[in-house]
Amino acid sequence: MNPDEVINEPVQPIREDMNYVGIWKVSPQGDVLSSFNLKLDYPALITSIAVDNAGVSLAGLTNVGKGNVGILVNCSSAGVCNTPIFIGTRDTSLDGVIRISDGAQIIIGSSTETILDKKVQGLRDGIIVSVAKTGKISKVIRSSAAKASRNWSSATNTLFFGGEVITGKKIESSVTKFSNTFRPTWTYRFASTGAVFNAVGPSKSHYSFFASTSVITNISGWNPKRASGLVIAFDSKGAITGAYSAAALVLPRAMAYSKDLGLVVAGVSGDTVSIFNLISR
C-alpha cells in the first residue's frame, strides 16, 4: 500500500560489460593530451568527476551482486588509481564529488540504508559523505523529510548542493549552501520537475538551474504554464538577485559559469539538445 502516493523511480540495472572507466585529458582546443583506462571488477556508471593539480576523483554507482553501491575512485594525474572505495551495500548511489585541498573528498547522493551508523530517516535520504585522504569515511550527513524521497545530485566546491524532494505527488528542487562544518547557512525549495544544477559565479554568487512548475514569490511576473527552464541567481548571503528564463529547455541537463563565457546552460526540449548563454528575462 502507498497511502501517501510517493513515487520511487525504479533503479535501472547497469550493463554487465561496463567495467572499464576511461579518463581523457583534453586541451582547450579539443586535442586529447593524455588518456588512461581503469578496469573494475564490477560494472560501473560514473556520474561525476572532480579534478585538481593532485589528481582526479570519480564517483558513481556499481553493482556488486546485492544491489547498487556507491563507488569512489581516486587517481593521480599520471593515471595511477587507488583501490575503489565502496559506500553502502545494496541501495546507495553517488551523484557528485568535490576534492578538498587536504586530499579529502566530499561526495553526495542518496541512500535507503544505514551508513556509518546513520539510519534512514525518510523513504530515501540525500547523503553527504566526507572521505578522508586515507580513504576512511569520516562523516555522514543525512538530509531527510518525513514520508519523502530525497537526493543530492549537484555540488560545487563552495558546498552549494542541489537535489530533489518528492513528497507524494509534490516535486521540488532543493538548494542549500553549507558551511565548512556542514551546517546549512541558507536554503530554498522550488516547485519543479526535480533535477537541479548548481554553479558558482563571481563575487561568491551562486546559480541554480531547474525546470520550474509554479509561481515563485521572490520573482515578479514568473508564472509558467508548463515546466520551464529557469536559472535563479543568489548573492553571497543567499538573497535572490535575479532570474533568467530558459523556457524552451524543459529538461535541464547541465550548467557552468566561466569568466570567458559567462553562464552557460544545456537542456533538452523534445528531441533537441540546446546549449547557450542565458539572457536576462
Q: Are residues 203 and 257 in the same domain?
A: yes
Residue 266 counted as domain residue: yes
39-71 in b/e burial notation, b at 16+ Cβ within 10 A?
eeebbbbbbbebeeeebbbbbbbbbeeeebbbb
125 and 196 co-located in one domain: no
Distance CA 86, CA 51 (A): 20
b/e 90-124 (16+ beta carbons within 10 angstroms → b): ebbbbbbbbbbeeebbbbbbbbbbebeebebebbb
Quote the number of domains for the chain: 2
Distance between CA 126 and CA 92 in Å, rounded?
A: 10
Domain-embedded: residue 42: yes
Here the cell at position 5 is: 502516493
Mean pLDDT value across residues 64-73: 90
Q: Domain of 241?
A: 153-281
Does the pLDDT of residue 280 top 50, yes or no? Answer: no
Q: What is the pLDDT of residue 248?
A: 83
pTM above 0.85, yes or no: yes
Degrees to nearest 5, angle at CA 230 with 226 and 236: 150
137 and 239 fall within a common domain: no
Give the integer Cα–Cα distance in Å for 170 and 5.
Answer: 10
Q: What CATH number corresponds to the domain at position 93?
A: 2.120.10.30
pLDDT number for residue 1: 41
The maximal CA–CA distance of the chain, rounded, in angstroms, is 55
210 belongs to a structural domain: yes
Name the domain boundary from 85, 109, 144.
144
User: How distant, in Å, are the alpha carbons of 188, 202, 227, 260 from that of 48?
Assistant: 24, 23, 26, 23
Question: Any bridge partners for residue 125, and if so which?
Answer: 111
Range from 28-42, 94-108, 178-192, 222-236 carrying the lowest mean pLDDT:
28-42
pLDDT at 145: 82
Q: Would 10 be classed as within a structural domain?
A: no
Predicted local distance difference test score (pLDDT) of residue 30:
92
9-41 per-position pLDDT tens digit: 555 555 666 788 999 999 989 999 999 899 998
Is 278 in the same domain as 165? yes
pLDDT category at 2 given cuts 50, 70, 90 is very low
In a domain, 102, yes or no: yes
pLDDT in the model for residue 3: 43
